[in-house]
Amino acid sequence: MSDTTIDTKRKIHKIVIVREACISAATCVVIAPVAFELDKDSIAILRPQAMEMDDATLLMAAQSCPTQAILLFDENDKQIFPAL
Ligand code: SF4
For the stretch 39-47, contacts whose Cβ atoms lie closer than 8 Å and that sit 24 or more positions apart, written own/partner, are 43/17, 43/19, 44/17, 44/19, 44/69, 44/70, 45/17, 46/15, 46/17
Tell me what pLDDT residue 3 has. 52
C-alpha dist (Å) from residue 41 to 16, 55, 58: 18, 27, 22
For residue 18, which atom of ligand 1 is closest to its CA? 7
21 occurs within a structural domain: yes
Number of structural domains the chain divides into: 1
Amino acid 15 reads I
Tell me what pLDDT residue 84 has. 86
9 occurs within a structural domain: no
Tell me what pLDDT residue 1 has. 47
Q: Tell me, rounded to whole angstroms, the distance of Cα 43 from its chain centroid.
A: 15
Please list the rounded mean pLDDT of every run of 10 residues in the chain (84 residues): 57 96 97 98 97 95 97 95 93
39 occurs within a structural domain: yes
Tell me what pLDDT residue 4 has. 59
Question: The domain that contains 51 carries what CATH number?
Answer: 3.30.70.20
3 occurs within a structural domain: no
Tell me what pLDDT residue 10 has. 81
48 occurs within a structural domain: yes
According to DSSP, residue 28 is labeled: H
For residue 42, which atom of ligand 1 is closest to its CA? 5
- Domain interval for residue 58: 14-81
Ligand 1 test: best mutation among 19, 20, 24, most atoms within 8 Å of CB?
24
